[in-house]
Amino acid sequence: MPTINALEITDLNKTYSNGVEALKGVSLSVEKGDFFALLGPNGAGKSTMIGIISSLVNTSSGEVKVFGDSVQKNRSAAMRHLGLVPQELNFNQFESPLDIVVNQAGYYGLTRPVAIERAEKYLKQLKLWDKHDKPARQLSGGMKRRLMIARAMVHEPELLILDEPTAGVDIEIRREMWEFIKGINDAGTTVILTTHYLEEAEQLCRNIAIINHGNLVENTDVKSLLASLDVETFLLDLREPMTVAPVVEGITTRLLDSSQLEAIVPKERSLNNLFAALDQAGVHVLSMRNKANRLEELFMRMVNEDNRDHQLESSL
C-alpha cells in the first residue's frame, strides 16, 4: 500500500486579480514526519503557497492534498490535518490567550473540557500560562508568536506549518521555540517552516525547497544541498593592520578593512594551505568565522542565478 505524503502539491498556479503571477506551476511533496524548509526571498511566492495550502488563498489551477485530502475538493477534511502559524498576528487582541486557544479547539470539534485541558497544556509548554487570562494585547511580541503556536497545536494537527515563526523574536526565545518545534516533530508531526534565518533551516530541517519568482528553484535534502557547496567564505580578524591582502595560491583573498581579511576557499583546498601561506607572510590571525552560514551561501547563489535568468527572460 503506497504511503500518503503529508503534502502533495501538483502544478500549482496562482495569478492575483491585479495580474501578478505569484506561483507558476509549482509541484512538490513533503513526506510524513519530515521537517521541511520552504525558503525564498520576499515576494517569491512562499506566503501565497502557504495561503493556498491553508485555504486562505484560492488557487488559479492545480491541486493541493494534505494527507491525501484535497484542499480544493474536500476542504474540511484537509483542514483537519493542518495547523497554521501565520506570519502576521491574526488573533483578537482583546481576548485572553485561554479563550483564543479554547475557541480554536472548538472550531476543530474538540469538546470544551478537552479544549480547556489542551489549551492549558500548550500554554504551559509555551510559557504563557501566567498570562492566560490577560487580554492578548498585553503580551510581548515573543509571547504573541508563541500564542499562535499554542493555538495551531491545540487540535494536535498531523501537519504544522510555521510561516516565519521566529521573526523579531530574541535569540533566547527563538532557541526555546526551536526546541519546542523539534519536540513536536520528534513526536511525529510533520513540520513545514519558512524562515529568513537560514541557520534555523540548516539546524532544524531535513529537506528543503527554494522558490523564487513563483518557480521551484531547488527541492532536495539539506545534507546533499550542503555537500554541493564548492566554496566557503571565511572572515579572519588580523592582529596587525594590513594595507594589501596576502596572495594565497588557489584561494581568493581581499581586505574588508585594515584588520579584516575575507578568504574564499574552494572545497578542494585545505584550510591548512591558507594558514601556511598567512604564516609565511607574517600575518597573525586572532579569530576566524564563516561569513554566512553554508545554507545562506548556497541560497544566495541559487537565488542570484535565478534572478539573472529571470532578467534575461524578461529582456528577450
Least CB distance from residue 28 to another protein, whole Å? 21
CA 109, 113, 115, 117 torsion: positive or negative? negative
* Positions 121 through 160 that interact with another protein (CB under 8 A): 151
State which of residues 7, 12, 110, 193 lies at the interface with another protein (CB under 8 A): 110
- d(CA 147, CA 219) in angstroms, rounded, equals 31
* Positions 151 through 210 that interact with another protein (CB under 8 A): 151
By C-beta, is 72 or 233 nearer to another protein?
A: 72
User: Order of strands across the sheet with 21-30?
Assistant: 21-30, 7-15, 61-66, 69-70
User: Order of strands across the sheet with 260-266?
Assistant: 252-257, 260-266, 231-238, 285-290
Per-residue interface string for the shown chain with another protein, residues 7-36, x marking contact by CB under 8 A: ---------x--------------------
* Phi, psi dihedral angles at 238 (to 5 degrees): -100, 145
Least CB distance from residue 154 to another protein, whole Å? 11
By C-beta, is 4 or 56 nearer to another protein?
A: 56
What stretches of 4-111 adopt beta strand conformation (E)?
7-15, 21-30, 35-39, 61-66, 69-70, 82-85
By C-beta, is 3 or 58 nearer to another protein?
A: 58
Least CB distance from residue 103 to another protein, whole Å? 5
Residues 6+ apart with CB under 8 A from 229: 267, 294, 297, 298
User: Order of strands across the sheet with 190-194?
Assistant: 82-85, 159-163, 190-194, 35-39, 207-212, 215-221
DSSP 139: S
By C-beta, is 107 or 256 nearer to another protein?
A: 107
* Positions 219 through 278 that interact with another protein (CB under 8 A): none
- d(CA 84, CA 49) in angstroms, rounded, equals 13
Among 210, 171, 177, 207, which Cα is nearest to 192's?
207
Per-residue interface string for the shown chain with another protein, residues 66-105, x marking contact by CB under 8 A: ---------xxx-xx-x-x-x-xxxxxxx----xx--xxx
Least CB distance from residue 134 to another protein, whole Å? 14
Least CB distance from residue 104 to another protein, whole Å? 6
By C-beta, is 44 or 208 nearer to another protein?
A: 44
- d(CA 309, CA 268) in angstroms, rounded, equals 28
By C-beta, is 126 or 278 nearer to another protein?
A: 126
Residue type, 217: V
By C-beta, is 48 or 215 nearer to another protein?
A: 48
Size of the residue set binding another protein (CB under 8 A): 35
Least CB distance from residue 44 to another protein, whole Å? 16
Least CB distance from residue 152 to another protein, whole Å? 9
Question: Interface with another protein by CB under 8 A: which residues?
Answer: 16, 48, 51, 54-58, 75-77, 79-80, 82, 84, 86, 88-94, 99-100, 103-111, 151
